[in-house]
Amino acid sequence: MPVLSKAGCNSGGCHGALAGKGGFRLSLNAYDPATDHYNITRENRGRRIEFADPARSLFVIKPTAAVRHKGGKLLHEDSDDYKLLVKWIQQGALGPSTDDTELNRIELSPALSQLNKGDTQQLTVHAFFSDGTKRDVTRWARFTSTDATIAEVDEATGLANVIGYGEGAISVWYSGLIALARITSPWPSAIPDEVFARTPKRNVIDKRVIEQLRRLNLKPSKPSSDSEFIRRVYLDVVGMLPTPQETKAFLADTTETKRDDLIEKLLAQPEFVDYWTYRLSDLFLISSKKLRPLALKAYYNWLRGEIEKITPWDQLVRQVVAAKGDTLKNGAANFYSIHQDPETMAENVSQAFMSLSINCAKCHNHPLEKWTNDQYYSFANLFARVRAKGWGGDARSGDGARTLFIADRGDLIQPRTGKPQPPAPLDGQAIASDSTEDRR
């Protein structure tokens, strides 16, 4: 399958499309090898494979354009890729087996490179298998650049060429998995180290920003003026502009802590609670289109109360994701009320609280991110045992009261395999399927 992926045969614009092309369908970027093997060797009475004369198989003469092929010539008869496909047919066109070692992950190295304009870097792809072995699969991988104005890459060999300044990423696909490497090309500026050293660093974000500016050889911006600061902080914290009187008083203030003092003052104002309850209501999906009036009120009042207490973000999210009980008494539980299945819950949790879109992985491995179809169902399975009694979710009728509880059994089935995926956080350790603890 890596040969087909490298040639683009199973891409979204070719046979990897939902309906396939020309009556032949492959899974997108080879996420389902078992179905691919069936379609190649057995679909349409096995017309694509010729065991008596493998080199005459439709499966290999189409991509070589020996017969009409809308995709054009993708393989040359003297290439290793072509020879590998012919050899596979000669050996019986065997498919995936339960005895095969599984591909766990791929790595692209070096993962981080700092190069100058005009430099080249050979990237290497390693595949890690379930038996603990590691294999160099660079020759079978497909490369692309996320920003060709900074670095170009030979999609067949993985040789990157730096042509601009800034930071870009190189993506690689192999057997349905994706990995990334970052290439930093600093600007040719002469900036003394003391410039970065004396730049104010108030928190971890400032430190990360300064570190990145140092790598890129970019001079940090000067601190904002007092007039710029007061305008920005009012808009950020309370969503309104300062009055002329407030602005004049701030500009006339000569105390060193006046900026910190202003922030604390704004955080204590009711306008801060109003504004950020409004802002976060959208993120937490508080809407009369989804909830009945009493449930809506309970959810809104819970969020407003937590913002008024300035509850840390991690605690706020934990209250929502791990919510149980009566939705009219525990407003946070209403986040579950607007989701009728574990898949939707998983998609909205990842989008709202992790800024990750995993929706594509519901049907196939994500074409642009590293999330796989199996990871999607493992993550969604974390929510499979959340149950609700009461209101059925109709936003047009009922009081909206539901009681959430955790069942001690029940799993989400992975449609591709017909079996449940072990519940696991994204990139996290799997939880034992027979465990009765709350998976969340």
Nearest to 374 by CA among 387, 354, 390, 358: 358
pLDDT at 266: 97
pLDDT per position as a tens digit, 335-377: 988 887 899 999 999 999 999 999 999 988 887 788 889 999 9
Whether residues 333 and 367 fall in one domain: yes
* Per-residue model confidence (pLDDT) at position 11: 81
**Count: domains in the chain:** 5
396 has pLDDT over 70? no
Q: What is the pLDDT of residues 68-106, one digit of tens each?
A: 888 888 888 988 888 989 999 999 999 888 788 888 899
pLDDT tens readout for residues 371-395: 889 999 999 999 999 988 876 556 5
Which pLDDT does position 333 carry in this prediction? 93
Identify whether residues 202 and 294 lie together within a single domain: no
- For residue 312, pLDDT over 90 is answered with yes
Query: Does residue 439 form part of some domain?
Result: no
Per-chain mean pLDDT for the chain? 91
- Average pLDDT of 113-139? 95
Say whether both 381 and 352 belong to one domain: yes
Q: Which residue has the tokens 């539980």?
A: 333
Question: Mean pLDDT: which of 10-19, 274-283, 380-389, 403-412 is highest?
Answer: 274-283
Q: Is the pLDDT of residue 400 over 80?
A: no
Predicted local distance difference test score (pLDDT) of residue 338: 82
The answer on pLDDT for 230 being more than 80 is yes
Q: Is residue 208 in some structural domain?
A: yes
Q: What is the pLDDT of residue 177?
A: 87
Confidence of residue 274 (pLDDT cuts 50, 70, 90): very high
Task: Judge if 281 and 379 occupy the same domain.
Answer: yes
| 3-class secondary structure, 306 | helix
Cβ atoms of 303 and 286 within 8 Å: the answer is yes
Is residue 129 a part of any domain in this protein? yes
Residue 109: the pLDDT is 96
Let me know if residue 438 belongs to a domain: no
Q: How many Cα atoms sit within 13 Å of 118 on the Cβ side?
A: 2
Q: What is the pLDDT of residue 398?
A: 66
Does a structural domain hold residue 198? yes
371 found inside a domain: yes
pLDDT at position 256, please?
93
313 and 380 fall within a common domain? yes
Confirm whether 248 is domain-assigned. Answer: yes
Task: Identify whether residues 181 and 194 lie together within a single domain.
Answer: no
Q: Which of 90, 123, 147 corresponds to the end of one domain?
A: 90
How many CA atoms within 13 Å lie on the side-chain side of 213? 19
- Residue 215 shares a structural domain with residue 236: no
User: CA-based angle 173:176:180, to the nearest 5?
Assistant: 35
Gap between the Cα atoms of 2 and 176, Å rounded:
8
Judgement on whether residues 125 and 169 belong to the same structural domain of the protein? yes
| Same domain assignment for residues 257 and 346 | no
pLDDT above 90 covers what percent of the chain? Answer: 63
Same domain? 85 vs 126: no
Range of the domain at 279: 272-420
The answer to the question of residue 95 being in a domain is no
> Which contacts of 224-233 are long-range, i.e. CB under 8 A and separated by 24 or more positions?
226/250, 226/251, 227/251, 229/259, 230/262, 233/259, 233/262, 233/263, 233/266
Same domain, 289 and 396: yes
Q: Which residue has the higher pLDDT, 136 or 291?
A: 136
- How much is the pLDDT for 397? 64
Pair 356, 396 in one domain: yes
The CATH number given to whatever domain includes residue 171 is 2.60.40.1080
Mean pLDDT of 310-314: 94
